[in-house]
Structure 1
Amino acid sequence: MDDSLETPNFVPPKPDPQADDDQQGEEDEEENMPDWTKLARPGASRTVIPKRGEKEFEPKAGGGSGLQQHVLEKSRNAMFDALRGVRATSTKSLSYGIWYPDISRVHITVSRGTHMSSMGHSVSRPAGSPKRLEMLPEEAIYLVERGSLFCWKSTDLPISGELDLENVGGVPMSVQQTYSELLGKEDVTAERLEVYSYLRRLGYVVTRTKPPTDSYPQAAPFIMKLHPSSLFSSFKGWMSRVYNAFTNLGFNWWRPLQLSRWLRSHKLYKSVFPKLRFIPTGHKLPLNQAPRKPSEPSPYTFFYNVYKPNTSFKRTSPPTPDYQMVVINARTTPMPSLQELTALFEVSPELPPPLPRRRNPPPGGFPPEPAPVEKTLLQRLLPIFFKPPPPLGLPPRRPHPFMALKAGKKMVVIAVVDAGSIGFYRLGEGALEEWPMY
């Protein structure tokens, strides 16, 4: 026990405000430390997650008391025992597979757990035989690392014993051997594996954007918005170009506005702002810079399709992905060029504008809807000349232009890995020329 606490006339010292301020930073750093004494010993059947513990004592110049040293040594030993413990897993969720280096695939012989519903693909080897479940290298490494898959390496040597779960016809592989043999196959780099594992731990479903083989299920394509040009719109565009060509014969760069003294319509905002846009803009214009040489493949290509955790995913027929992701190494890959970003935006879908904020109803509420009026015979025969009455209540609000410009029409997600640290960046393609600024 503490000798000072056992003294009858012991008076606790007054706290020093200056010392409290100095020790506040140290307490903030250590308040999130887990209490290792609450963790079960390695031999226990059930493991309890350690909770945050309180600081036992304040460090002193002369050293702590015997009780404080005992509590500190107990916590330190509990931490060492937990680190020395062997990680265990349940056999109910443990799968078994064989690694084939010639095809760079892991054949799942025994499938267990919920991971198989969104991982792997069915392949018929050889052709015409029953299909079997195979996994790509990043999928197998992720399951082996988290303790959900036992992996063996195929071999031609004779295996002694009967063929069972403990002897599936190969050589057992450790986690280190799995990393060394599977990493680098099928374009799997350390950065792509790290991003894949990080997203899978968060609950996302991750697949390949480009199928490595024909048997790999391909995601549903995006619905690209096409703007069909009708005869009237083509004629209107041609007339506007002819009108602009005649009216801009005397165009002056220093005085782009040519306001009429007699016409008031030329002085309105609706007419002034379009005239100020005399420099051609838009993503449809060709780029002036020279493109990248064919011998230098661009690292900015979509590699992963990412699905949100609440997406209804089917392994045999994946739906349209929520995101398409590019994975790069920050130490070796420079910033993307304009051509590389344009190539990514060309294959990306056009996003709808953000919805406006929901407006509250008026204080008295919406007026009651009137009784439907029966249409006359003329309204039935010529409905195009009779517009329906506007709906009651608040009119539909247009999307906010600044919110739409901030969101952009298209989006690209780039995962940047810098020495183990992952950062996600969202790049958007705006459309300033399509929004009237008046």
Structure 2
Amino acid sequence: MLDDEDAPNVDRTAADEGHMDEDGAEDLAPDFRLFEAMLKKKKGYSGTSIRKGEKDFEQHGTQAQLNSLEHSRQVMEEIQSYERFHKYDTWNRGWFFPTYWANALGDKVKDPSKFREFGKDDLFLRNRVVVVEMFTGTLQKSIGRTIPGVTKFHPAFGKSWLLPEEALFLVERGNLDLWYPNGPIESLMPGWPREAAEQRGNNEKPFPQSKPDPSDYSKGTPLSLQAAYAMLIGIEGEEGKVSLRKYQVYAHLKRAGFHVFPAWEEDEEETAQPWSLWSWMTSLLDISSPYESQNGPLVQPGVYHSYKSVYSRLQQIPRHVPKKAAACSKNSKKPFKLDYFVWKADGAPFTKGKPRAPDFRVCVVDAKDTIIPTLDQITTLLEATPYSPPNESWQGPGRMHQRLKHGHRNVLIAVVDCGIISFSHFSEASFALEDQTPRFDASRSIRGRKNGGGRGGGRGRGRGRGRGRGRGG
């Protein structure tokens, strides 16, 4: 079968024109006048239809060209000097406490075992460095965590704590105003007073608080976007910070509408048992194999009535069949390790406290520091994911490619090259479970019935069907 680029009868006129228009649009300079109109809230402009400006390739000395160029410069300066602001109704203030959980994890927790409800790494508490005073908006459903087990007498009870990538993403969106505190967390968000706690009894809800005043600078200093990048972006593995490539992948997926959380170690229903010395020795003595050697041709001369009888004799090399239990350790080899779990925002119920099984598992690598993964690295990475066979509803020959693409274990590798992100899908497919011989035999029998197969089914030239040569009377 020919591909599209090899097909001789493919009409490329429309496709080529589309590529030329797209390339030409990329070469054009942005028209800042449309941005200016949007900022001034003039009617007739849409944020989704920002077109490119026309490009002059050479000067022709007219005053109209000079005036247009000067006007574009002025508009560009106005756009770049535009001051970002937060609406008071949706204004959220977060305080930067990078060492709060790292230094006082044991003192501020009533029951550390509850931290394993969300993951094996204690809710990633050591990396939660930003606490939000009053979290408003729809993003709180999929960003941040309130720490279970914290008593109401401790500071920041019932508050949402953010990871570095979550805080930086909200700052970029304009949903969070990041501040650096002038004092300890006890002075900003103290716990419940003993007297008030005794009056409220078992009520675990925080006290109703008024909206914080954004003009009160006595408690801290607001940070710019550049300062937020400097404080939250770090090297790989640095506590309380996130690497730039991981943040770029996180922000890309969040802007696309996915739910994204850091990857934790998943529990499988069945784990692989290590072989004992006796089991290994007895396995060497097992010489029985379905692929027995024989002399002569693989397919002996004879009459075969099905494809399966022929292909079963040609099968000599054992094929790979995925197993439910992983054969090796879950510890992936760097740099190929699971970094994020991703869920589709398809309307299905989703809770960040007890999320369902992730739809995608993402590994983030840098194109400059990483080479093409070896088979051993890919195998180790796939075995770090739980056994996930194709959906039972994907039955039939029409869904074969979908079953093979999904595999029984799969992972996405996000390759970051100077900010450009490319995703590569790797899966543990099983071609051994996709037996094609029944389809060949079924199509053969259908063709036989259509062509009048069987004895007497054809239109022969027997007696009585030719032109008679009777004798004249």
Residue of 299, 310, 317 corresponding to 2:354: 317
Residue of 249, 266, 269 corresponding to 2:307: 269
CA separation in 2, counterparts of 1:122 and 1:46? 42
CA contact (8 A) 1:409 1:429 kept: yes
TM-score w.r.t. the length of structure 1 is: 0.64
Letter in 2 for 1:174: S
> Which residue matches 1:198?
252
Shift of the alpha carbon at 1:402?
5.2
TM-score w.r.t. the length of structure 2 is: 0.60
The total of aligned residue pairs comes to 335
2:177 maps to 1:150: yes
CA contact (8 A) 2:322 2:428 kept: no
CA separation in 2, counterparts of 1:170 and 1:325? 37
> Which residue matches 1:233?
none
> Which residue matches 2:141?
117
CA separation in 2, counterparts of 1:53 and 1:333? 36
**RMSD across aligned positions (CA):** 4.1
CA separation in 2, counterparts of 1:173 and 1:429? 46
CA contact (8 A) 1:207 1:305 kept: yes
Shift of the alpha carbon at 1:172?
2.9
> Which residue matches 1:329?
366
Letter in 2 for 1:98: W
CA separation in 2, counterparts of 1:327 and 1:337? 16
> Which residue matches 2:63?
66
Letter in 2 for 1:28: G
Deviation string, structure 1 residues 172-218 (Cα, Å, up to 9, x no partner): 3222222222223346211111111111111111111218xxxxxxx
CA separation in 1, counterparts of 2:58 and 2:223? 50
CA separation in 2, counterparts of 1:116 and 1:131? 13
Deviation string, structure 1 residues 342-382 (Cα, Å, up to 9, x no partner): 233332443426977xxxxxxxxxxxxxxxxxxxxxxxxxx
> Which residue matches 1:28?
24
> Which residue matches 2:284?
none
CA contact (8 A) 1:31 1:52 kept: no
Letter in 2 for 1:110: M
> Which residue matches 2:294?
251
CA separation in 2, counterparts of 1:425 and 1:352? 19
CA contact (8 A) 2:390 2:407 kept: no
Letter in 2 for 1:75: S
Q: Secondary structure at the match of 1:192?
A: helix
Deviates more, 1:94-103 or 1:36-45: 36-45
CA separation in 1, counterparts of 2:182 and 2:87? 28
Q: Which structure 2 residue ranges, 5 or more long, are not aligned? A: 1-19, 102-126, 189-211, 273-286, 438-473
> Which residue matches 1:210?
264
Q: Secondary structure at the match of 1:111?
A: coil
Deviates more, 1:420-429 or 1:42-51: 42-51
Question: Pairwise mapping of residues 295-374 of structure 1 onto structure 2 (< 5 A)?
Answer: 297-310=333-346, 311-346=348-383, 347-352=385-390
> Which residue matches 1:15?
none
Shift of the alpha carbon at 1:430?
1.9
Q: Secondary structure at the match of 2:425?
A: strand
2:243 maps to 1:189: yes
CA separation in 2, counterparts of 1:397 and 1:42? 52
Letter in 2 for 1:251: Q
Deviation string, structure 1 residues 372-402 (Cα, Å, up to 9, x no partner): xxxxxxxxxxxxxxxxxxxxxxxx9544545
CA contact (8 A) 2:90 2:137 kept: yes
CA separation in 1, counterparts of 2:22 and 2:247? 36
Q: Secondary structure at the match of 2:246?
A: helix
Shift of the alpha carbon at 1:433?
1.9
Shift of the alpha carbon at 1:407?
4.8
Deviation string, structure 1 residues 42-79 (Cα, Å, up to 9, x no partner): 985789648326638x6566x24222322232123212
Shift of the alpha carbon at 1:334?
2.2
CA contact (8 A) 2:231 2:241 kept: no
2:163 maps to 1:136: yes
Q: Secondary structure at the match of 1:334?
A: coil
2:73 maps to 1:76: yes
> Which residue matches 1:432?
431
CA contact (8 A) 1:206 1:304 kept: yes
Q: Which structure 1 residue ranges, 5 or more long, are not aligned? A: 1-23, 212-218, 227-240, 286-290, 357-395
CA contact (8 A) 2:29 2:54 kept: no
> Which residue matches 2:117?
none
Residue of 97, 102, 123 corresponding to 1:100: 97
Deviates more, 1:334-343 or 1:109-118: 334-343
Shift of the alpha carbon at 1:32?
5.5
Residue of 296, 314, 319 corresponding to 1:281: 319
Identity across matched positions, percent: 26
